[in-house]
């Protein structure tokens, strides 16, 4: 097992990883930007190294800085969390070259999954249904016309290197096609450094359902059931739950088995999430795979009893899946609300000093957060400041519990999305489990703005 791990991240996930390390008896090193000097992850780690100015490009994304912090502190491994360098194949390679274990999949697998059109092809060839779409990157107008004819309208043009819900364009009719293609390419170039795009059928009322997986270094992969993440605003998840209200045992077993088989062929190691869209008729299609731990991992932890971060660490240290995962008992229902520092009506980020931070507790409530009273939320990073997660014996109990926990959660000094979450939880369609990815647009009575 590792002696010392560096956590190449900030906020709640850095704290979450440090907690897992503490429980495993592993020493921890935090890295931080000048804006995060007083952060909880810095205080809670055994050692901490400043890696640069506030801007992520100069600190959390700065590979030489992160690696030199790891070398100075003599760590055995780096946990990248999510975002930042977590899906950067080059970073994983540099770790390898520096003889530091990267806690995640191999650089080759990260690269494959990072090219979404390639991941689609790969999964399709391994027997997992993908959204009908182009065979790969669309290389010019002729291919665009051909693919559009094959797919039909509406279709969606997506950046091959896309992520975070960015770089997508829906095209409703032929006349819009060329313009959308060109805009998508230039947006992709700007956001992701490559203009590559591909096209898929646009599913009009999909549900987003994803499978959590873990793979060890001995060829074995396991799935830990699914999460439903259809409550989104602008393709960004707001509420996640497990199990999905529309997944039954047979389906879970069949699809789970397909996913596991495909990933064993790929040689997938460590934690990952395989994302699907479910059509209104119940068809379910692969859209992408995220080769890292995800924000919403706690809902899976609560319904399986597995500590996913500890499992990641143990797998990276070479343990086999059975030992790393331990006993898995599916029970109950878990829901997570992402609490963002933003205006609940305009969605404008709300940075500043938190004056009151009173987190809820009680039976079945978990709060993953690095926020505290008097903390300053800097404007440079993601606006998510806390995750409120509850577990109930069933979905109805989880909803009741989440409602009361949201009521108890007091954050003052900045604006948060708590009022929006209250509205979501109070909605009758949500309660009935009848929703799709456009739920928020309907709730807000507009385009989700
Ligand atoms: P990202 O990598 O940016 O998260 P994804 O491919 O995972 O992008 O898609 C994010 C979200 O965008 C999905 O959850 C869904 O809401 C929407 N989306 C993506 N592809 C389609 C599609 N083919 N049809 C309808 N909605 C889609």
Q: Do domains 132-201 and 207-445 have the same CATH topology?
A: no
Is the alpha carbon torsion for 303, 257, 297, 45 positive or negative? Answer: positive
Q: Could you tell me the sign of the dihedral formed by the alpha carbons of 379, 380, 384, 386, in that order?
A: negative
Helix then strand then coil, in percent of the chain rounded to 5, is: 35, 25, 35
CATH class, domain 207-445, is alpha beta
3-state DSSP assignment of residue 34:
helix
- Multiple choice CATH, 132-201, 3.40.140.10, 3.40.630.10, 3.40.50.720, 3.30.1490.20: 3.30.1490.20
* 142 contacts: CB under 8 Å, gap ≥ 6: none
What six digits make up the tokens of 172?
Answer: 């409703």
> What was the pLDDT predicted at 404?
98
pLDDT at 446: 62
Q: Output the ligand 1 site: residues, CB below 6 A.
A: 131, 156, 162-166, 200, 202-203, 206, 208, 232, 235, 275, 277, 287-288, 437
Per-run averaged pLDDT (10 residues), the chain, 449 residues: 98 98 98 98 98 98 98 98 98 98 98 97 97 95 96 97 88 96 94 95 98 98 98 96 97 97 98 98 97 98 98 98 95 98 93 98 98 97 98 98 98 98 98 98 76
Dist. CA 235 → ligand 1 center (Å): 6
For a ligand 1 pocket test, name from 130, 165, 230 the mutation site with the most ligand atoms within 8 angstroms of its C-beta: 165
For ligand 1, atom 18, the nearest C-alpha belongs to: 235
Catalytic (active site) residue 292: yes
Q: What pLDDT sits at residue 428?
A: 98
pTM for this entry: 0.97
Report how far residue 201's alpha carbon sits from residue 216's, in angstroms, rounded to the nearest whole number. 34
Distance from the CA of 439 to the center of ligand 1, in angstroms? 14
Could you check whether the bond before residue 154 is cis, i.e. omega within 30 degrees of 0? yes
Taking phi first (over 0 means left), then psi (-120 to 50 degrees means alpha), and beta for anything else, what does residue 81 get? left
Closest CA to 407 of 371, 444, 440, 361: 361
Atom 19 of ligand 1: nearest residue by CA position: 287
Q: Nearest Cα to 229, choosing from 294, 158, 305?
A: 294
pLDDT recorded at residue 167: 82
Question: Would you list the domain boundaries of the chain?
Answer: 4-103, 132-201, 207-445
What is the 8-class DSSP label of residue 98?
A: T
Minimal-distance CA residue to ligand 1 atom 22: 202
pLDDT in tens, 127-177: 999 999 998 999 999 999 999 999 999 999 999 999 888 889 999 999 999
Closest C-alpha to ligand 1, atom 23: 202
Fold topology of 4-103: Rossmann fold (3.40.50)
Rounded CA separation 375/1 (Å): 34
């Amino acid at each position: 097992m590792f002696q010392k791990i560096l956590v190449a991240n900030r906020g709640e996930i850095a704290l979450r990883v440090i907690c897992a390390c503490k429980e495993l008896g592993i020493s921890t090193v935090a890295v931080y930007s000048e804006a995060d000097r007083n952060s909880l992850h810095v205080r809670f780690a055994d050692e901490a190294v400043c890696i640069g100015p506030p801007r992520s490009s100069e600190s959390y994304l700065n590979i030489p800085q992160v690696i030199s912090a790891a070398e100075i502190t003599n760590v055995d491994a780096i946990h990248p969390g999510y975002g930042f360098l977590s899906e950067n194949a080059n970073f994983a390679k540099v770790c390898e070259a520096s003889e530091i274990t990267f806690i995640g999949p191999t650089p080759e697998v990260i690269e494959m999954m990072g090219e979404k059109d390639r991941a689609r092809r790969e999964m399709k060839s391994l027997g997992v249904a993908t959204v009908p779409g182009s065979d790969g990157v669309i290389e010019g107008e002729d291919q665009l016309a051909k693919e559009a004819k094959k797919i039909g309208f509406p279709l969606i043009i997506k950046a091959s290197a896309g992520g975070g819900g960015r770089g997508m364009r829906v095209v409703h009719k032929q006349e819009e096609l060329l313009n959308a293609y060109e805009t998508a390419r230039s947006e992709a170039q700007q956001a992701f450094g490559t203009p590559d795009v591909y096209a898929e059928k646009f599913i009009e009322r999909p549900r987003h359902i994803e499978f959590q997986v873990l793979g060890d270094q001995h060829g074995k992969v396991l799935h830990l059931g699914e999460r439903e993440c259809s409550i989104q605003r602008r393709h960004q998840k707001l509420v996640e739950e497990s199990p999905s209200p529309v997944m039954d045992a047979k389906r879970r077993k069949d699809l789970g088995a397909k996913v596991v088989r495909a990933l064993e062929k790929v040689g997938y190691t460590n934690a990952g999430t395989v994302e699907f869209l479910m059509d209104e008729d119940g068809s379910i299609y692969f859209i992408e795979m995220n080769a890292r731990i995800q924000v919403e991992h706690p809902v899976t932890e609560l319904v399986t009893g597995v500590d996913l971060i500890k499992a990641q660490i143990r797998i990276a240290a070479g343990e086999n899946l059975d030992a790393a995962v331990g006993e898995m008992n599916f029970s109950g229902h878990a829901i997570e609300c992402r609490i963002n520092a933003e205006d609940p009506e305009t969605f404008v980020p709300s940075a500043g000093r938190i004056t009151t931070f009173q987190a809820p507790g009680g039976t079945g409530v978990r709060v993953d957060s690095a926020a505290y009273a008097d903390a300053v939320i800097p404007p440079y990073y993601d606006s998510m400041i806390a995750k409120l997660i509850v577990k109930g014996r069933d979905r109805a109990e989880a909803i009741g519990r989440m409602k009361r926990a949201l009521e108890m959660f007091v954050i003052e000094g900045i604006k948060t999305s708590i009022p929006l979450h209250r509205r979501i939880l109070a909605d009758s369609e949500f309660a009935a489990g009848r929703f799709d990815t456009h739920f928020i647009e309907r709730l807000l009575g507009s385009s989700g703005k």
